[in-house]
Amino acid sequence: MDVLSDVIASLRSGRPFANREDRAGTWRTAFAAFAGAGFHIVMSGACRLLTPDGLPLTLNTGDVVLTPHGIQHTLEDLSRTDADFDGPTSLLCGAYQLDRTQSHPLLSALPDVIHLRAQFGRHPALRSAVSLLGNELENPQQGSSAALSTLLDLLLVYILRAWFKDEADRGVPGWSAALADPAVSAALSAMHESPARAWTVEELGKQANLSRAAFARRFTALVGEPPLTYLTWWRLSVAARLLKESGTSLESVAQHVGYGSRHAFANAFKREHGISPGRYRLTHTGNQHPTQWHPESGNDPMTAS
């Protein structure tokens, strides 16, 4: 399992949602904060995005925006500040439900707004997904429900891929650099693929084709913590997900994430989560799938005005 796929799988809950929004004249749509991630794609026209703490952001045809932390924001027409613009605007707007009880640092480090400008020839996979999604929403047919769910999952992957690639190309440190670094990426993939294995720094260094010392320095510099510290955190994050989503025994969960005894696992889990594995399961079972929001429901994060 590669790191980005694993991280998304650990956070996703419920079903994603999307719809087409056509606007003309003077308009404004407010999006309330919610426990998920939202996106907007400008299919035609242009508009402005406003956030409580950010500068106004002009969005043009082909631009893609992701709000990874589900912050409050507003979209509005450009005629308020540009009298020459009075054309219609067509948008694709949607949202993903995320379980943030154990958010991965890769996503926690993302900015409140990710803006991917339309650039000819750049991120072709993302552009293809946008085109297919727009077509399904505009011309629903038999199988569209299944197609939309798949396309929305692809869209999230392609947006994040594009963002991390752009950040790595600009030499930005952090997770974008870690994923782009062949050595660190190989070690991360190995840990995610086999969390139960009794990894040592030396063995992880071999996965990265680096000496123990060189690998440890490189991993810590890019990821922000030593390799075995990250491994422990990831093991206990996987354990938390298993406790919430399955009836697997505590002994089996412990073995799955590399602990030789239930007692050792329970101690490590409590240090990380502040609660025993058994109580964690009782607290979270049945709550792993938040109510799905929908435009007609009372918990819709979108409120038009």
Question: Going residue by residue through the chain (305 aa), what tens digit of pLDDT does each one get?
Answer: 688 888 888 777 778 889 999 999 899 999 999 989 999 999 999 999 999 988 899 999 999 999 999 999 999 999 877 666 778 999 999 999 888 777 788 988 899 999 999 887 789 999 999 999 999 998 899 998 889 989 999 999 999 999 999 999 998 889 999 999 999 999 999 999 999 999 999 999 999 999 999 999 999 999 999 999 999 999 999 999 899 887 889 999 999 999 999 999 999 999 999 999 999 998 877 544 433 333 333 334 443 43
Last residue of a domain, one of 148, 170, 192: 170
Q: Measuring CA to CA, which residue among 174, 194, 216, 6 is closest to residue 208?
A: 216
Last residue of a domain, one of 138, 170, 202: 170
Residue type present at position 155: L
CA–CA gap between residue 69 and residue 95 (Å, rounded): 11
Looking at the fold, whether 166 and 188 belong to one and the same domain comes out as no
User: Residue 300 has what pLDDT?
Assistant: 42
CA–CA gap between residue 264 and residue 228 (Å, rounded): 16
Residue 304 belongs to a domain: no
Say what the pTM is.
Answer: 0.83
10 Å CB burial of residue 180 (0-12, 13-18, 19+) is: middle
209 backbone φψ class: left, alpha, beta (φ>0; ψ -120 to 50): left
Looking at the fold, whether 15 and 162 belong to one and the same domain comes out as yes
Looking at the fold, whether 17 and 100 belong to one and the same domain comes out as yes
Which spans in 37-174 are helix H?
Answer: 105-108, 124-138, 144-169
CATH number at residue 208: 1.10.10.60
- Per the CB < 8 A criterion, the answer to whether 81 and 103 are in contact is no
Residue 293 belongs to a domain: no
Residue 125 belongs to a domain: yes
User: Residue 301 has what pLDDT?
Assistant: 41
Looking at the fold, whether 118 and 265 belong to one and the same domain comes out as no
Residue 55 belongs to a domain: yes
Contacts of 93 (CB under 8 A, 6+ apart): 18, 19, 20, 21, 38, 39, 40, 41, 302
Residue 298 belongs to a domain: no
Q: Computed over its alpha carbons, how large is the radius of gyration of the chain?
A: 21
CA–CA gap between residue 163 and residue 166 (Å, rounded): 5
Looking at the fold, whether 7 and 118 belong to one and the same domain comes out as yes
Last residue of a domain, one of 127, 151, 170: 170
Q: Measuring CA to CA, which residue among 156, 140, 167, 151 is closest to residue 39?
A: 156
Looking at the fold, whether 23 and 113 belong to one and the same domain comes out as yes
Looking at the fold, whether 86 and 135 belong to one and the same domain comes out as yes
Give, for 49, the enclosing helix (H) or strand (E): strand 46-50
Domain span holding position 120: 3-170
Q: How many domains does the structure of the chain reveal?
A: 2
